[in-house]
């Protein structure tokens, strides 16, 4: 045992220097060349920071595209999912009431057209995206709220589709489209 | 929808394509053969050896290896306890996060040193940046520990009779510098340019479009995320782990992070083939592991893409599959793929919340951890598989009436006793832990009401999953479980400790004892261990042990839940 303790202490000290100091220092130095210096990419409107590009934020008002429900209340300093099991009766009641409330706010939408991502909460509670279908079912409501022709909003959605060629999922970044939506008005 | 499956296939094939050459490289590193990278790494290793006062050529026997390993780990544990319990006043704490309580620090220290990375805290509020950096250090060296001790077993499997099995420090340092560090640097840089932060500044604040004030956690995440994926660690920087948009910004980074989960576990199998010069045997092991892995994976993908039947009955559209706890940018197929790779390999990072998986996917994730050797954790995954091989050799030998021999060494009573104890330890830890927590909960439902986030069978699954994850050194969780209590911290900590070190000591002891024995050249009477028949035998041993041990518990949890909502 004795002949192992001193090498162990010295080896640990070397590991601290290499993996806790030099390695992060290298990555930190490279980060200076990365977008926003590796400090998280902020999105600005008229010179004011209104959000972070990668992180979702709460949109509940009718005039905006609403994002997914968040178990963390879109708290970007405390991410978490709901961790509700698929058979949990309280959870199923929650989903049902989200469906009901969606139908109240969007009376022209048929129930079978509501995509599940709009009524289930995301893994991080900060999902920045909704599915393409999740955006199109909100068109009627937003057009009415904003007094804009539907075609304009449909066109806005079309120009905002992000599609990954690897998994084929078509999605919409909620913050980005809402910023552009606000500009439509002006 | 089918494109989602193509994404998964690409991920798996890319991993194998990378793992074969990497395995050969790892084999060369552990054999001390020349590689193209020597010019860079020889001087670095020399600094390590000199500064630590280590002679890398000093050969050790199996007992000396274990003493060296345990001494290092004991030291790391003490250092980790000190930092985690004093983070509040130590430097690099811009968000003013508190120190950990003793029981949480015990759990977290054991968790990271044992390569488990079970987290009973949330990264944003539970640790300082110094704490994160210390945990990152353990992510490197706990992975290297597993790989080095696995290399010792590889060396012991060579065709000769010897007591000297290389130098532990040498294997450990080379695992760090020549395998883990270079890959981590490359991946961290890729993540940086996709938006993962690497800053020592604290929280930022902004006012959202709707007028809410939002605080945004940041930190030195990129450096940590790459090694946590590569070293089958899994402990995330943020609470939501790789579901968090800053840890895993898009589908491309998801592919990279998911490839890293099983890259080294697969590569280690091919490294074995190189070191003992039996490529056919390595392919056989790879085949058995892959078949087992696919049997868990395929139904999980199908279940997640089909969606939750209870939500289906509400009459809405589930074209993306079951989306509770998942992120739109990954989709349900890639989330299921991650869920099974992370549990088969003891990684434990998540890109979707496992608690919200449909019941059978949750069960297959648990089975991955219960078997814990379909690829398994870096190094230690093979050690678990080694135990099953020994048992399979012994049973096959008895069945055909031959002396059980494995790679020219006779397997006798002593080795079999060790193998049997290690094979039964894992179910013992899981089931007695779950029994204890269930008994407490059932007798004091009001006292422990905060434990479970879900009622009924799923609540039982939450406890079973936590114990399984601890014993398998996995670290993922059904995170609804209210687990930051002295009971869970201490019980899980103890299980992780036993579940890490006994399954290291056992196989190393067997390999060391076998290595010392006389080498018997292959003859007509030798049981062939590189044939399909033997592969089926190993698979049968794994299947029977898992089924007999775990079927009753799984029937009470996920299986009952499945029939309840279908």
Residue B195 to residue A40, Cβ atoms within 8 A: yes
Q: How far is B266 from chain A (nearest CA, A)?
A: 23
Q: What is the DSSP letter of B406?
A: E
Q: Report pLDDT for A53.
A: 94
Whole-Å CA distances, B21 to B256, B388, B530: 17, 26, 21
What dihedral angle (degrees, nearest 10) is formed by the CA atoms of B25, B31, B36, B39? 130
| Cβ contact B136:A24 at 8 Å | yes
**Residue bearing tokens 């509770």:** B324
Please name which of A17, A25, A33 lies closest in space to residue B185, comparing C-alpha atoms. Answer: A25
Cβ burial of B521 (10 Å; 0-12, 13-18, 19+) is exposed
- Which site among A52, A81, A162 would you substitute to test the B interface, given the most B Cβ atoms closer than 10 Å to its Cβ? A81
Give dist(CA B385, CA B542) in Å, integer: 9
> Running DSSP on this structure, what letter comes out for residue A52?
E
CB environment A1-22: b (16+ within 10 A), e (fewer):
eeebeebbebbbebbbebbbee
Do residues B396 and B527 make contact, with C-beta atoms less than 8 angstroms apart? Answer: yes
Taking phi first (over 0 means left), then psi (-120 to 50 degrees means alpha), and beta for anything else, what does residue A73 get? Answer: left
Report d(CA B27, CA B271) in Å as an integer: 4
The number of C-beta contacts closer than 8 angstroms across A and B is 376
| Non-local CB neighbours of B236 within 8 Å, separated by 6+ positions | B119, B123, B225, B228, B242, B244, B247, B349, B350
> Does A180 contact chain B (CB < 8 Å)?
no
Quote the DSSP letter at residue A36.
G
Q: Report d(CA B326, CA B352) in Å as an integer.
A: 5
**Strand pairing report for A48-52 and B213-216:** unpaired
Rounded mean pLDDT, A119-127: 96
Are B45 and B171 within 8 A, CB to CB?
no
**Do B243 and A122 lie within an 8 Å CB cutoff?**
yes
Is B125 in Cβ contact with A89 (below 8 Å)? no
Among B324, B482, B558, the strongest candidate for a mutation testing the A interface, having the largest count of A CBs within 10 A, is B324
Question: Which residue, among B148, B316, B449, B458, would best test binding to A if mutated, counting the most A CBs under 10 Å from its CB?
Answer: B316
pLDDT of the residue at A1:
60
Quote the minimal CA–CA distance from A182 to chain B in Å: 10
Q: B348 near B378, Cβ under 8 Å?
A: no
The total of other beta-carbon atoms located within 10 Å of residue B524's CB is: 4
Residue of chain A nearest B201, judged by CA positions: A39
- Would you state the pLDDT for residue B466? 97
- Inter-chain residue contact B359 with A88, CB threshold 8 Å: no
End-to-end Cα spacing for chain B: 22
Cβ-based contacts of A50 with chain B (< 8 Å): 206-209
Distance from CA of A76 to the nearest CA of B (A): 5
Q: Is A136 on the interface with B (CB under 8 A)?
A: no
Does the CB of A138 have a partner CB in chain B at under 8 Å?
no
Residue of A nearest to B354 (CA): A83
Please give the helix or strand (H or E) that residue B4 lies within, else none.
helix B2-31
SS3 for A65-115 is CCCCCCCCCCCCCCCCCCCCCCCCHHHHHHHHHHHHHHHHHCCCCCHHHCE
Q: How does pLDDT run along chain B (566 residues), one tens digit per residue? A: 588 999 999 999 999 999 999 999 999 999 999 999 899 999 999 999 999 999 999 999 999 999 999 999 999 999 999 999 999 999 999 999 999 999 999 999 999 999 999 999 999 999 999 999 999 999 999 999 999 999 999 999 998 899 999 999 999 999 999 999 999 999 999 999 999 999 999 999 999 999 999 999 999 999 999 999 999 999 999 999 999 999 999 999 999 999 999 999 999 999 999 999 999 999 999 999 999 999 999 999 999 999 999 999 999 999 999 999 999 999 999 999 999 999 999 999 999 999 999 999 999 999 999 999 999 999 999 999 999 999 999 999 988 888 889 999 999 999 999 999 999 999 999 999 999 999 999 999 999 999 999 999 999 999 999 999 999 999 999 999 999 999 999 999 999 999 999 999 999 999 999 999 999 888 887 888 899 999 999 999 999 999 999 999 999 999 999 999 98
pLDDT at residue B475, rounded to an integer: 95
Q: How many Å apart are CA B398 and CA B406, to the nearest integer?
A: 13
What contacts 24+ positions apart, CB below 8 Å, involve B59-64? B59/B164, B59/B165, B59/B166, B59/B167, B60/B164, B60/B165, B60/B166, B60/B167, B60/B168, B61/B163, B61/B164, B61/B165, B61/B512, B62/B152, B62/B156, B62/B165, B62/B508, B62/B509, B62/B511, B62/B512, B62/B513, B62/B515, B63/B512, B64/B168
pLDDT for residue A186 is more than 90: no
Distance, in Å, from the CA atom of B155 to the CA atom of B134, rounded to the nearest integer, reads: 31
Per-residue pLDDT at A185: 66
Residue B226 Cα distances to A108, B21, B139, B180, B193, angstroms: 47, 20, 10, 10, 13
Distance CA B123, CA B132 (A): 8
Q: By CB neighbour count within 10 A (0-12 exposed, 13-18 middle, 19+ buried), where does B473 fall?
A: buried
Q: Helices (H) and strands (E) in chain B — how many of each?
A: 20, 4
CB contacts, 8 Å: B214 with chain A: 51, 57, 74-76
- Check if A107 contacts B (Cβ < 8 Å): no
Q: Report the residue from B212, B323, B459 with minimal CB separation from A117.
A: B323
The full set of domain ranges for chain B reads 2-565
Query: Which residue of chain B is at minimal alpha-carbon distance from A50?
Result: B208
Return d(Cα B258, Cα B60) in angstroms, integer: 36
Reduce the DSSP state of residue B230 to 3 states and report it: helix
pLDDT of B522: 84
CB contact under 8 A, B317 and A124: no
A152 Cβ under 8 Å from any chain B Cβ: no
Which position has the token pair 């697969």? Answer: B266
Select the residue from B72, B200, B205, B209 to test the A interface by mutation, using most A Cβ atoms within 10 A. B209
Pairwise CB contact (< 8 Å): A51 & B208: yes
| Separation of alpha carbons B121 and B110, rounded Å | 14
pLDDT for B28 equals 97
Whether residue A31 lies within 8 A of chain B, CB to CB, comes out as yes
Cβ–Cβ below 8 Å for B453 and A19: no
pLDDT, residue B197, reads: 96
């Amino acid at each position: 045992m004795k002949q192992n303790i001193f090498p162990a202490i010295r080896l640990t000290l070397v590991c601290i220097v290499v993996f806790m100091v030099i390695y992060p220092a290298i990555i930190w130095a490279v980060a200076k060349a990365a977008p926003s210096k590796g400090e998280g990419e902020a999105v600005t409107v008229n010179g004011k920071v209104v959000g972070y590009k990668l992180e979702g934020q709460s949109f509940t008002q009718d005039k905006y595209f609403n994002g997914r429900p968040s178990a963390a209340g879109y708290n970007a300093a405390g991410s978490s999912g709901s961790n509700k099991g698929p058979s949990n009766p309280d959870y199923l009641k929650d989903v049902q009431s989200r469906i009901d409330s969606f139908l109240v706010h969007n009376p022209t939408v048929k129930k079978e057209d509501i995509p599940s991502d709009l009524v289930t909460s995301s893994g991080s509670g900060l999902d920045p995206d909704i599915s393409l279908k999740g955006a199109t079912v909100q068109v009627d409501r937003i057009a009415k709220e904003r007094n804009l022709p539907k075609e304009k909003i449909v066109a806005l959605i079309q120009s905002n589709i992000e599609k990954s060629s690897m998994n084929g999922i078509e999605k919409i970044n909620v913050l980005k489209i809402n910023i552009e939506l606000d500009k439509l008005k002006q | 929808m089918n494109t989602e499956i193509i994404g998964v296939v690409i991920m798996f094939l890319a991993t194998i394509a990378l793992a074969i050459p990497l395995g050969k490289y790892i084999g060369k590193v552990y054999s001390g053969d020349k590689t193209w990278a020597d010019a860079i790494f020889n001087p670095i290793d020399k600094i390590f050896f000199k500064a630590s006062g280590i002679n890398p050529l000093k050969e050790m026997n199996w007992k000396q290896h274990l003493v060296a390993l345990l001494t290092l780990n004991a030291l790391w544990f003490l250092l980790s306890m000190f930092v985690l319990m004093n983070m509040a006043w130590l430097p690099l704490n811009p968000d003013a996060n508190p120190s950990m309580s003793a029981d949480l620090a015990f759990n977290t220290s054991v968790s990271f040193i044992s390569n488990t990375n079970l987290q009973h805290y949330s990264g944003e509020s539970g640790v300082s940046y110094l704490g994160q950096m210390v945990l990152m250090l353990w992510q490197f060296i706990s992975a290297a520990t597993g790989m080095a001790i696995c290399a010792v077993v590889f060396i012991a499997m060579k065709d000769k009779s010897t007591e000297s099995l290389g130098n532990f420090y040498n294997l450990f340092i080379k695992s760090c510098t020549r395998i883990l560090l270079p890959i981590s640097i490359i991946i961290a840089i890729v993540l940086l340019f996709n938006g993962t932060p690497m800053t020592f500044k604290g929280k930022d604040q902004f006012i959202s479009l709707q007028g809410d004030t939002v605080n945004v956690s940041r930190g030195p995440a990129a450096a940590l995320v790459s090694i946590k994926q590569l070293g089958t660690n899994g402990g995330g920087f943020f609470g939501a782990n790789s579901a968090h948009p800053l840890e895993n910004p898009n589908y491309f980074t998801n592919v990279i992070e998911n490839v890293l989960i099983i890259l080294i576990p697969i590569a280690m199998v091919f490294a074995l083939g190189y070191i003992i010069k039996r490529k056919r045997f390595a392919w056989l092991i790879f085949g058995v592991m892959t078949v087992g892995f696919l049997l868990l994976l395929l139904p999980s993908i199908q279940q997640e893409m089909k969606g939750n039947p209870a939500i289906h009955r509400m009459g809405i559209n589930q074209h993306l599959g079951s989306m509770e706890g998942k992120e739109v940018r990954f989709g349900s197929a890639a989330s299921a793929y991650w869920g099974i790779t992370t549990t088969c390999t003891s990684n434990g990072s998540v890109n979707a919340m496992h608690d919200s998986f449909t019941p059978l996917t949750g069960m297959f994730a648990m089975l991955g951890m219960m078997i814990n050797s379909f690829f398994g954790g870096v190094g230690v995954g093979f050690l678990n598989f080694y135990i099953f091989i020994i048992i399979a050799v012994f049973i096959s030998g008895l069945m055909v009436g031959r002396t059980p021999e494995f790679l020219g060494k006779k397997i006798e009573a002593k080795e079999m006793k060790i193998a049997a104890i290690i094979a039964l330890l894992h179910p013992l830890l899981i089931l007695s832990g779950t029994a204890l927590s269930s008994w407490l909960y059932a007798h004091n439902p009001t006292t422990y009401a905060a434990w479970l986030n879900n009622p009924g069978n799923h609540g039982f699954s939450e406890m079973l999953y936590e114990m399984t994850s601890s014993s398998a050194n996995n670290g993922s969780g059904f995170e609804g479980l209210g687990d930051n209590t002295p009971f869970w911290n201490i019980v899980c900590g103890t299980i992780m400790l036993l579940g890490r070190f006994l399954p290291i000591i056992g196989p190393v002891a067997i390999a060391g004892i076998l290595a010392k024995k006389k080498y018997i050249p292959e003859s007509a009477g030798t049981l062939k261990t590189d044939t399909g028949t033997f592969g089926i035998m190993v698979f049968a041993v794994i299947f029977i042990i898992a089924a007999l041990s775990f079927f009753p518990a799984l029937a009470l949890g996920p299986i009952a839940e499945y029939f309840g909502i279908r």
